[in-house]
Amino acid sequence: MDFKSFLITIATLFILLIIGYVAGKRGIIDSVASKKLSSLIINIGQPALIIYSITSQPYTKENLLLGLKTLLLGFGVHLFMGAIAYVVCIKIKHMDERKILEFSMVFGNTGFIGIPILGALFKETGAFQASFIMISFNILLWTLGMSILGRHRDDIKVTPKKALINKGTVPSLIGIAIFLLPAIPALRDFSLNVTLPFASDTLMYVSGLCTPISMLIIGALLSTVSLRKVFVSGKLYYLCLFKLCVIPLLVCGIMKVGSLFLPFSTDWILFATALTCMPSATSVSMLAEIYDISPRFSAQGVGMTSLLSIATMPCVIALAQLVVNL
């Protein structure tokens, strides 16, 4: 694990966040621009990022097995976070805020922040594994996530079609299909960056837009909320405590104990910990806006977790390293 590269990436994300905040305050990135940029990232940038992250690794049986194990890990940690979030939010009386808090604790920014962070920590395999996490993330977002938001609402329904066919799973399947092409004897020498370098380079350049633009958007989002109100909200501190600290360290501790009986390596434990300490996904505020579920509160939650995660992620990863070395 490359902790130095991780710290450099964290510092870079923080600077981008500040630039976005200033741009938002000065009206350079207003609500219209923010929505347009979000649409660009979700519809073009994210698919390119997922496909590029998967196809950047050569096909081997070991890499295929790594991807499948990561997919199972993704389902496991998200369901675990879902159970914890349900328990710790059950006594919150305001139903819409309870939904937002629960949703925010489960779904982290595994794409736009997770891929560069995991890539910095674990190099090429980190981004590769994160792209498989996106499959479990998107399936559970449209099943578990929508069931959370749909409580006491007849207009929000879980549909199998939406769970399996969405802007996260489709590019993931395309990426996996390209990744598996060398498994066909006639295409054993196929490699996207060698056979079709222009396609690989296009994906690389487009996917490179995701992290900087998403951080600018989050910074601009922060500029629209009252920081004074954000930093005096007990519920938001509650969210940050569990999302950024308690749940990741629980995952680390449980997997460390589990390693006595199961083949959890140090890297697997640290990967799962890093995965779970990401700030809340921007999908939270987008869906809250669409379904009118405390949209301002959700924006504050995304903004606050994103801001504080700059400080908490290095601390949590450092603590996790101490735990796994016990």
**Contact, 276 vs 77, CB < 8 A?**
yes
Read off the pLDDT of residues 241-271 as tens digits, 9 standing for 90 and up.
999 999 999 999 999 999 989 889 999 999 9
What would the mean pLDDT of 212-226 be, rounded to a whole number? Answer: 87
Cα 308 to Cα 299: distance, rounded to the nearest angstrom: 14
Range of the domain at 296: 3-324
How far apart (Å, rounded) are the C-alpha atoms in residues 235 and 322? 30
**Predicted local confidence at residue 190, as pLDDT:** 83
In the chain, the percentage of residues whose pLDDT exceeds 70 is: 100
What pLDDT is recorded for position 267? 92
Confidence of residue 205 (pLDDT cuts 50, 70, 90): very high
**Residue 41 belongs to domain with CATH number:** 1.20.1530.20
Give me the helices (H) in the chain, please. 3-25, 31-40, 46-55, 61-89, 95-106, 114-140, 146-149, 160-164, 169-180, 192-195, 197-207, 210-223, 227-230, 234-240, 247-258, 266-276, 283-291, 295-324
Contact 317, 6 (CB under 8 A): yes
Residue type, 4: K
DSSP for residue 134: H
User: What is the spatial distance between Cα 231 and Cα 49, in angstroms, rounded to a whole number?
Assistant: 33
> How many domains, in total, are found in the chain?
1
Instruction: From 122, 109, 121, 139, select the one nearest 49 (Cα to Cα).
Output: 109
Q: Indicate if the pLDDT at residue 239 is higher than 90.
A: yes
pLDDT tier at 187 (50, 70, 90 boundaries)?
Answer: confident
pLDDT digits (tens, 9 = 90+) for 56-88: 888 989 999 999 999 999 999 999 999 999 999
